[in-house]
Amino acid sequence: MKKSIKCLTHIFIILFLTNIVPVRANELLVNCKELTISNGLSNNTVRSIIKDDQGFLWFGTENGLNKFDGYSFKQYHHKNDQINTISDSFI
């Protein structure tokens, strides 16, 4: 029993290290810049950030959803008079 737990622990550690170390190395190569309302963000209070499979960064703010393509933002806001709109501008 103890050997199987020790073996599973070693496998877990190896899998953990092989998945984390390359990600950490790639993160060191990223150049970051400040993104604010002066760059086109709808609000400086960002409540969530996600990157989609096409490489777009999505920022959920207190004043809408923002899609960033690396150069500029496209803003999405709730509009009461439209059917196809986001459900709320507070993301």
Task: Using the predicted structure, report yes or no on whether residue 78 has a pLDDT greater than 70.
Answer: yes
- CA 9/CA 36 separation, integer angstroms: 44
- Type of residue numbered 7: C
25-77: pLDDT as tens digits: 555 555 567 788 888 889 888 898 989 999 899 999 999 999 998 888 999 99
Q: What does DSSP assign to residue 81?
A: T
Pick from 49, 81, 52, 53: nearest CA to 65: 49
Which pLDDT belongs to residue 14?
62
Cβ pair 65, 86 in contact under 8 A: yes
Read off the tokens for 48.
Answer: 């969530």
Task: Using the predicted structure, report yes or no on whether residue 17 has a pLDDT greater than 60.
Answer: no
Select the more confidently predicted residue: 87 or 6.
87
